[in-house]
Amino acid sequence: MASRAPAPGGHVVRRPHMPMSERAKIFIPFDPLPGYRQMLREREEELLNVPRVDLSDEQRERLSRQIRELEPGQLVAVTHYVDGRYVKTVGCVSRVMVADGLLCVVGEKIPIDSVATIEDAE
């Protein structure tokens, strides 16, 4: 049954059924400021980025010693710098590739240059 609305003269006007494809357009969300949400996300990323901390010579030497002493299967927690943030990866060491500058923990290849700390996770 078509909806009925009284016309100015008092008689009823029938409206044609709106196709479903047209009805769907009515319910599309309205974005009054296109691009604003994307700009906010980008700004948030900028603010959340943390500058990389330079390690002292003593810290670098300790870290180098820890890397040399790592053994496959050892459970460790490695804090490393990735894309403006420090990330902690916990798991078993699978390989240490000093020549390639990589440390493999839980299948993730971590550049040795990005490592900040290594701790036993046991």
Domains held by the chain: number:
1
Q: Report pTM.
A: 0.63
pLDDT of residue 122: 72
Specify the CATH number for the domain of residue 43: 2.30.30
Residue 10 lies in a domain: no
Question: In the predicted model, is pLDDT for residue 28 greater than 80?
Answer: no
Per-residue 3-state assignment (H helix, E strand, C coil) for the chain: CCCEEECCCCCEEECCCCCHHHHHHHCCCCCCCCCHHHHHHHHHHHHHCCCCCCCCHHHHHHHHHHHHHCCCCCEEEEEEEECCEEEEEEEEEEEEECCCCEEEECCEEEEHHHEEEEEECC
Domain of 70 in residue numbering reads as 19-122
